[in-house]
């Protein structure tokens, strides 16, 4: 007899894909969306807050100022319990404007970057975001470690002045791991964003364990290596044993590997395609691989 959890999850994905089609056809989207199961959440260490396990990175829809696609994506994401959206530059204002138009600003958790050496410009951007979203504080201000380290006092001051609730560092290559760990050692980093996937596992040697030990929330970028992961698996059949952890696609195979690391709070996925977004969201449901299976997954990908 098939596992009831698997049946439930497959029903969720089937229903969600049908909902995505309804969006694209401008049908009665909102009624169906309210019936959907919400993404599981994980705690933000040291707080009473939590985040859904699947988030959105700086999608092409955001970067290209595509309001229609961004609206569809954020509406779909929110309806399934999504909250964390990571964006920078002009994308953050587009996301904020779309969220306001949908009336969901208070439900979303926006992470944004500050890298300008002119504090006045950065403060103007902070105020603009606060005005658009109607929030009293930004959710998360983050920066690259090479900028954050010499300017960390400024970020801490912004937090003390209640311009932001959390501060963090973010990067996407192991060359930056040492600097990120040095910053975590100060005990003042709330969030760490780092690359981690089946093809880039280096962060699980020191960076992720340190984040876990230091109570730092972790968001993951590059889960699909900017598409390189799909190039690797293209033409190969998903192994039958993927069903053991409720996995229906190669995207979910990669995301469930990441989510099975106990240090991970949220995985940031980048897509402007509603069908792909729902497939990614599906990875947040059902069972996750155990340590033995995780090692099997790494080896399986290496052998493709």
Q: What is the CATH number of the domain that holds 69?
A: 3.20.20.100
In a domain, 253, yes or no: no
In a domain, 303, yes or no: no
In a domain, 209, yes or no: yes
pLDDT digits (tens, 9 = 90+) for 41-59: 999 999 999 999 999 999 9
Give the HSE-up count for residue 227: Cα atoms under 13 Å, Cβ half-sphere.
2
Which of these, 63, 46, 58, 95, lies nearest to 216 by C-alpha position?
46
How far apart are alpha carbons 126 and 133 in whole angstroms? Answer: 11
* Domain count of the fold of the chain: 1
Which residue did the predictor score with more confidence, 174 or 10? 174
Which of these, 117, 28, 9, 134, lies nearest to 79 by C-alpha position?
28
pLDDT digits (tens, 9 = 90+) for 177-234: 999 999 999 999 999 999 999 999 999 999 999 999 999 999 999 999 999 999 999 9
Check residue 287 and report its DSSP letter: -
Residues of the chain above pLDDT 90, percent: 88
| DSSP reduced 3-state for 187 | coil
How far apart are alpha carbons 257 and 295 in whole angstroms? Answer: 9
Which of these, 170, 207, 9, lies nearest to 87 by C-alpha position?
170
Please tell me the least confidently modeled range out of 27-41, 121-135, 207-221, 234-248.
27-41
Give the HSE-up count for residue 70: Cα atoms under 13 Å, Cβ half-sphere.
25
Given a contact cutoff of 8 angstroms between Cβ atoms, the answer to whether 74 and 98 are in contact is yes
Which residue did the predictor score with more confidence, 252 or 10? 252
In a domain, 31, yes or no: no
In a domain, 36, yes or no: no
Confidence check: pLDDT of 304 > 70: yes
Range of the domain at 207: 50-232+264-286
Between the alpha carbon of residue 235 and those of residues 239, 251, 283, 304, the distances in Å are: 12, 14, 21, 10
Q: Return the pLDDT at 36.
A: 62
What sign does the dihedral 292-172-141-268 (CA atoms) show?
A: negative
Which of these, 109, 52, 115, 117, lies nearest to 85 by C-alpha position?
109
In a domain, 44, yes or no: no
Q: Return the pLDDT at 292.
A: 98
What is the residue whose two structure tokens read 């190669």? 250
In a domain, 62, yes or no: yes
In a domain, 126, yes or no: yes
How far apart are alpha carbons 200 and 304 in whole angstroms? Answer: 15
Q: Return the pLDDT at 34.
A: 37
Q: Pairing state of beta strands 41-43 and 54-56?
A: unpaired
Which of these, 288, 254, 270, lies nearest to 77 by C-alpha position?
270
**Four-CA torsion 179, 182, 186, 187, nearest 10 degrees:** 90
């Amino acid at each position: 007899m098939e596992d009831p959890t698997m049946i439930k999850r497959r029903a969720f994905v089937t229903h969600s894909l049908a909902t995505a089609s309804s969006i694209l056809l401008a049908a009665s989207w909102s009624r169906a969306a309210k019936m959907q199961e919400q993404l599981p959440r994980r705690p933000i260490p040291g707080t009473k807050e939590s985040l859904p396990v699947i988030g959105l990175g700086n999608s092409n829809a955001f970067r290209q100022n595509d309001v229609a696609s961004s609206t569809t994506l954020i509406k779909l994401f929110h309806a399934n319990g999504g909250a964390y959206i990571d964006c920078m530059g002009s994308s953050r204002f587009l996301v904020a404007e779309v969220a306001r138009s949908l009336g969901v600003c208070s439900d979303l958790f926006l992470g944004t970057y500050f890298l300008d050496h002119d504090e006045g410009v950065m403060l103007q951007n902070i105020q603009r975001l606060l005005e658009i979203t109607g929030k009293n504080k930004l959710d998360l201000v983050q920066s690259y470690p090479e900028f954050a380290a010499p300017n960390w006092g400024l970020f801490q001051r912004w937090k003390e002045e209640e311009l932001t609730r959390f501060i963090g560092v973010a990067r996407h290559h192991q060359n930056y791991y040492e600097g990120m760990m040095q910053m975590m050692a100060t005990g003042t980093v709330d969030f760490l964003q780092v690359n981690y996937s089946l093809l880039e596992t280096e962060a699980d040697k020191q960076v992720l364990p340190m984040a876990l030990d230091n109570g730092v929330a972790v968001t993951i970028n590059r889960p699909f290596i900017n598409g390189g992961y799909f190039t690797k698996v293209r033409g190969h059949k998903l192994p039958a044993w993927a069903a053991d952890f409720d996995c229906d696609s190669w995207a979910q195979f990669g995301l469930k590997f990441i989510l099975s690391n106990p240090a991970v709070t949220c995985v940031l996925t980048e897509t402007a395609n509603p069908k792909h977004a729902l497939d990614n969201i599906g990875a947040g449901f059902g069972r996750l691989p155990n340590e033995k299976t995780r090692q099997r997954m790494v080896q399986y990908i290496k052998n493709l």
